[in-house]
A and B are shown apart, each in its own frame.
Chain A
Amino acid sequence: MDELAQRIEAFIQQEPSAGSFDELALALFTRQYSCVEPYRMLCDSLAVTPNNCTSWTDIPLVPAAAFKRYTLSCVPPSLVKATYYSSGTSGSETSKHYLDADALSLYRTSLRLGFVSAIPEAVGKRIWALMPSRQQMPNSSLSAMLDMLGAEHFYWEADANLLDDLAELTEPIVLFGTAFAFVQLFDMLPEPITLPAGSVIVETGGFKGRSREVLRSDLYAWFTEKLGADPQLCYSEYGMSEMASQFYSQGTADVKRGPHWVRTRILDPLTGKDAGPGERGLLAHYDLANFNSVMAIQTEDTASTISPVTFPVSSNPFDERDGDLDAGQSAGVEDGAAGERRRFVRSFVLLGRAQEAELRGCSLIVEENWNRWRTNEA
C-alpha cells in the first residue's frame, strides 16, 4: 500500500502517529495535483499549487459535475479496480468514480468505520438491503457499499420473499434501503408488522425527481407504524458516488454528521464564501478517503449549519484533537492562507439539491427499475 494511503488509513483508524488532517490533506492534494491532469489545470488556473497551498481550506474544489466529464484518476485504467457510477435520469450523463487498489481499501475502511461509529446499534446485526445486489448493478456505489458491509440479502424488484422473510425474523436486523424502496415496501405490506426489538432502519436517497414523494416525517412515522421500529434506531445516510465517505443522521432530527476524516464547508453560491451560521449554502467536502480521484468536491447539494448543537455529543476522543473542533461541536473555524477565518462544519442539515441543478439520487435507480418491472409485469 502507498505510504500516504497507509497514513490516511491510520488516521481513519485513529492511530496517534498518523498526523493531522491538515498534513494529510495537503499531502493528498500534492499527489492529486501531480497526477490528475484536469485537476491540475483547475489548480493552475486558480494559481493554487502544492507550493503555495498551506491549509486544507485552500485546496481547490472540483465540481461534482467534473466526475461526469473527466477521468479523475491517479492511475491508468489497467490499475482501476472498481468504478462507481452515479444514478441519473435516463439518457443523462453519469459520474464515474475510479478506485485503484489503495483507494478501494481506504473506501472499505472508511465505509465500515463510518458506519459502525455512526450507528453503533448496527454492530453484529445481519444486514438486509432493499436495492439491487452488486451482481445486478456492479457499478452502483450503493450496492457496493452494502456488499462491503456484508449485507446478507438484497431484495429487489418487489421481491415477494421479502415479506415472508420479514415475517419469519426472530433476531433484530439492519434494514438498509432507499427511501423510495421503503415506500414501495409499505405499499406491498398487507398489514403492519413488528420487526424484532433492536432492529435498525437506514434509509438513503430521498425522493428528488421521483414520481411520488413522501414527507420525511411521514416516512419516519411509517417506520414505526408499519415496521414497529424504534424512532431512535432509524437513521438516514447521505453519500455520493464521487465520495468514499458517508454522513448519517439519527431519528427525525435530520442532522447529518460526517466522520473525522472528512471536513465540510457550506459555501454561499452567490459569493463563493462561507455561509454564515444557520444560512443556506452548498456543501463542499474534503474527504481523505478519496485517494485516487480528487479529495475536495464542490457538491450541488444545499445545507445549513445547525445552531445550537443538536447532535449527541460524541464519545469519540479523536474529535477532541481534530483541529480546534471540540467533541460534539457542529462547526469550527480555521485560518486560511491569507489569514482569514474559515468556517467548517461537522454537522449540517441537508436541504436538498440546488434549484435548477441536475437531479441525482440513488432512489432513481430503484424507481426506474421498479417502474420497468411493473410495466413488464403488466
Chain B
Amino acid sequence: MTAATSDDVRALAAPLRKAHLDTLANRSHDQIVESLSELARRWRLAESTAGQRARALTGLFGYDGVELTLTALLDSLTPNALNDLIDSEGVRGRPGFPVIGHVLAGNTPLLGWTSMIRALLGRSASFVKLPTEEADLGAMCPTALTAALGGHVLPELGSVTAWSQLFVDALVEVDAPLASTIALASWPGEDDDRTGTLCTLADLVVAYGSDDTIASLAKMRGGLPFVGYGHRVSFGVVMPDANLKDAADGFALDTLLFDQGGCLSPQSIFVIGDSGRAADFAQVLAKSLRARQSTLPPPPRDEGIAVAIRRARALARMDGCRLWEDEATTWTVVLRRTPEFAPSPTHGVISVQPLSTWERLTVALAPVEGALQGCGLTPGPVPAGLGAFLSGAGVSYVCVPGKMQAPPLSWREDGVTVLSSLLP
C-alpha cells in the first residue's frame, strides 16, 4: 500500500490497465450497478464482513461519526438511483478513461468511496493516492491485520485510508474482479516525484485539496484531463418562519461532524430577522451543540488547534461579539453584528449573524464569492428568487439542517457533472 518510490507507483499502476481491459471495458453498466447495489445491500443488512469491521472504527472518523454520511451514500447505491444517475448524465454504454488517478484530501472520511464509485460507474480503473497525513496508517491494511488475528476485529482509528480500504474489501466480497481495478497507495503529498509519476500514468486525474494543491497538480498535468476540487465554504440560513430549536439541532450536527472540516460544514449561519432573533438562535444553537457533543466522538485537539480556537475566541470578543463556548474547545458560537460571511478556523467555531432579509445574502456572501459550496436552509416555503440566487452564487448543494454532511452520490460538487466529467 505504501509506494516508497516512483517505481512502486508504476508497479502498482501497471496491472490496472489490464484489469480495466479484462474487467471494465467490456462490462455493462447494468453489471456494475448490480455489484455496487449488492455491496450496499449487504452492508445495510450487516452481511458484509467489511461493514462489520467498520463498526469497530473509532475517533473522529469512527463509525458513529460517519454513519449519517454513509447511510446517505448507501441510499444512493440502489439500482434505481444508480441507473437514474447514469442515464441522466448520458454515460450509459460510453467508454471511460482506462485509469483515473485520485488524489484524496483527509478532511472527510468517505471521499474515497464517492471518488471510486464514480470511477467504476465511468468504467475506469482507479489508482487512489490516500491523504498525506495518513501515510503511516496507509501501511496498515485492515484485511491483513484481521486475518493475522484470526478474524478478531481490533478497534482501529477511522480515517480516509481505513474507510477506502473497507470499500475495496466490501467490493471484494461481492465482485473481486471489479475490486481488482482499484489500487490504494500512500506517500507524502509533497513528494513531487511520486505524485508526478501518478500524474503521468493516469489518463485522468481527479484531485481534492487546498487551492495550492489543486494548482500544483493541474500544473503537473500540463493540460491533460484533470478535475480539481479546491477550498470551498458553506453556510446556513434560518428563514423567518423556521423553528429555532429544530434548526439549531440540525446545524449543531452539521457543525460538529468531522470537526467542521468538510467543505459542506457550515461556518456562518444567517438568521433572517432582527438581532434579537439571531441572539435567540445563537443561544439555542449553543444548547444544541452542548447536547449533541456528548453523542459524537470527541474531536482531536492538539496544541495548534487549541491555539487557533482560543485566538479566534479572543479576537471575536475584541470585535464586540457575544460568545457561547464549552470549557474545552469543542464548540464555539460567535454572535456577530456584522452581516459579512465570517470565515471560521473550523473545529466547531460557528458564527451566527442577523440579516434583515434574505436578499441581503448578496452582500453577506460577497467576501466568499466563487468559493461557496453548500447551504443548509430551514424547511418551508422558499422565497421566489432565493433558489436562483443560491445557484447563481455557485452553491451546488442545498439541504435542510442536519443533512449538510449527507449529500447523495448525485451531488454535482462545484456544479461539475458526477459521471460525464470523468469520461473522455
Tell me, yes or no, whether B87 is within 8 Å of chain A by CB. Answer: no
Given contacts A269-B310, A270-B328, A270-B329, contact A66 B318 (CB under 8 A): yes
- Selecting from A35-43, A86-94, A303-311, A339-347, the interface stretch reads A35-43
- Selecting from A76-84, A191-199, A353-361, the interface stretch reads A353-361
Distance to closest chain B CB from A242 (angstroms)? 14
Is there an interface contact between A70 and B318, defined as CB atoms closer than 8 Å?
A: yes
Q: Kindly list chain A residues whose C-beta atoms are within 8 Å of the C-beta of B302.
A: 355
Given contacts A270-B301, A270-B329, contact A41 B307 (CB under 8 A): no
Q: Kindly list chain B residues whose C-beta atoms are within 8 Å of the C-beta of A356.
A: 304-305, 307-308
Most chain-B Cβ atoms within 10 A of its Cβ — which of A69, A270, A355, A357?
A270
Tell me, yes or no, whether A282 is within 8 Å of chain B by CB. Answer: yes
Residue of B nearest to A280 (CB): B303
Considering only CB atoms and an 8 Å cut-off, how many residues of chain A contact the other chain?
26
Mark B307-318 against chain A: 1 for CB-CB distance below 8 A, else 0: 110110011011
Is there an interface contact between B318 and A357, defined as CB atoms closer than 8 Å?
A: no
Mark B321-347 against chain A: 1 for CB-CB distance below 8 A, else 0: 111000011000000000000000000
Is there an interface contact between B306 and A269, defined as CB atoms closer than 8 Å?
A: yes
Is there an interface contact between A39 and B303, defined as CB atoms closer than 8 Å?
A: no
Q: Kindly list chain A residues whose C-beta atoms are within 8 Å of the C-beta of B319.
A: 38, 41
Mark A218-238 against chain B: 1 for CB-CB distance below 8 A, else 0: 000000000000000000000
Q: Kindly list chain B residues whose C-beta atoms are within 8 Å of the C-beta of A280.
A: 303
- Cα A272 to Cα B315 in complex, Å, equals 16
Distance to closest chain B CB from A66 (angstroms)? 6
Tell me, yes or no, whether B95 is within 8 Å of chain A by CB. Answer: no
Distance to closest chain A CB from B358 (angstroms)? 29
Tell me, yes or no, whether B320 is within 8 Å of chain A by CB. Answer: yes
Given contacts A41-B319, A45-B322, contact A357 B304 (CB under 8 A): yes
Tell me, yes or no, whether A298 is within 8 Å of chain B by CB. Answer: yes
Is there an interface contact between A45 and B317, defined as CB atoms closer than 8 Å?
A: yes
Is there an interface contact between B303 and A63, defined as CB atoms closer than 8 Å?
A: no
Is there an interface contact between A45 and B315, defined as CB atoms closer than 8 Å?
A: no
Q: Kindly list chain B residues whose C-beta atoms are within 8 Å of the C-beta of A269.
A: 303, 306-307, 310
Tell me, yes or no, whether A362 is within 8 Å of chain B by CB. Answer: no
Residue of B nearest to A41 (CB): B320
Mark A35-63 against chain B: 1 for CB-CB distance below 8 A, else 0: 00011011001100000000000000111
Tell me, yes or no, whether A65 is within 8 Å of chain B by CB. Answer: yes
Tell me, yes or no, whether A287 is within 8 Å of chain B by CB. Answer: no
Tell me, yes or no, whether A302 is within 8 Å of chain B by CB. Answer: yes
- Cα A354 to Cα B302 in complex, Å, equals 10
Q: Kindly list chain B residues whose C-beta atoms are within 8 Å of the C-beta of A319.
A: none
Is there an interface contact between B304 and A65, defined as CB atoms closer than 8 Å?
A: no
Residue of A nearest to B308 (CB): A356
Is there an interface contact between B315 and A69, defined as CB atoms closer than 8 Å?
A: yes
- Cα A45 to Cα B305 in complex, Å, equals 22
Is there an interface contact between A41 and B317, defined as CB atoms closer than 8 Å?
A: yes
Is there an interface contact between B318 and A42, defined as CB atoms closer than 8 Å?
A: yes
Within 8 A of A (CB), among B27-77: none
Is there an interface contact between B317 and A42, defined as CB atoms closer than 8 Å?
A: yes
Is there an interface contact between B314 and A42, defined as CB atoms closer than 8 Å?
A: yes
Most chain-A Cβ atoms within 10 A of its Cβ — which of B317, B322, B323?
B317
Q: Kindly list chain A residues whose C-beta atoms are within 8 Å of the C-beta of B320.
A: 41, 45
Given contacts A42-B317, A45-B322, A270-B303, contact A63 B310 (CB under 8 A): yes
Is there an interface contact between B307 and A357, defined as CB atoms closer than 8 Å?
A: yes
Tell me, yes or no, whether A9 is within 8 Å of chain B by CB. Answer: no
Distance to closest chain A CB from B324 (angstroms)? 11
Residue of A nearest to B305 (CB): A356
Distance to closest chain B CB from A92 (angstroms)? 15
Within 8 A of A (CB), among B115-159: none
Is there an interface contact between A354 and B303, defined as CB atoms closer than 8 Å?
A: yes
- Cα A317 to Cα B341 in complex, Å, equals 55
Residue of A nearest to B317 (CB): A45
Distance to closest chain B CB from A246 (angstroms)? 23
- Cα A97 to Cα B318 in complex, Å, equals 17
Residue of A nearest to B314 (CB): A63
- Cα A41 to Cα B319 in complex, Å, equals 7
Distance to closest chain B CB from A121 (angstroms)? 37
Given contacts A38-B318, A65-B315, A355-B302, contact A45 B307 (CB under 8 A): no
- Cα A65 to Cα B321 in complex, Å, equals 17
Is there an interface contact between B304 and A354, defined as CB atoms closer than 8 Å?
A: yes
Tell me, yes or no, whether A254 is within 8 Å of chain B by CB. Answer: no
Q: Kindly list chain B residues whose C-beta atoms are within 8 Å of the C-beta of A354.
A: 303-304, 307
Q: Kindly list chain A residues whose C-beta atoms are within 8 Å of the C-beta of B329.
A: 270
- Cα A95 to Cα B303 in complex, Å, equals 22
Tell me, yes or no, whether A100 is within 8 Å of chain B by CB. Answer: no
- Cα A354 to Cα B318 in complex, Å, equals 22
Distance to closest chain B CB from A96 (angstroms)? 15
Is there an interface contact between A65 and B311, defined as CB atoms closer than 8 Å?
A: yes
Q: Kindly list chain B residues whose C-beta atoms are within 8 Å of the C-beta of A66.
A: 314-315, 318
- Cα A341 to Cα B322 in complex, Å, equals 29
- Cα A55 to Cα B401 in complex, Å, equals 45
Mark B277-318 against chain A: 1 for CB-CB distance below 8 A, else 0: 000000000000000000000000111111110110011011
- Cα A62 to Cα B319 in complex, Å, equals 12
The 4 closest A-B pairs by CB, nearest first: A356-B304, A355-B304, A269-B306, A45-B317
Interface residues of A (CB under 8 A from B): 38-39, 41-42, 45-46, 61-63, 65-66, 69-70, 269-272, 280, 282, 298, 300, 302, 354-357
Excluding A38-B319, A62-B314, A270-B328, 7 further A-B contacts by CB distance (< 8 Å) are A38-B318, A41-B319, A66-B318, A270-B303, A271-B328, A298-B310, A354-B304
What are 12 residue pairs bridging A and B, where the CB atoms are less than 8 Å apart in the complex?
A45-B317, A45-B322, A63-B310, A70-B318, A269-B307, A270-B328, A271-B328, A280-B303, A355-B303, A356-B304, A356-B308, A357-B308
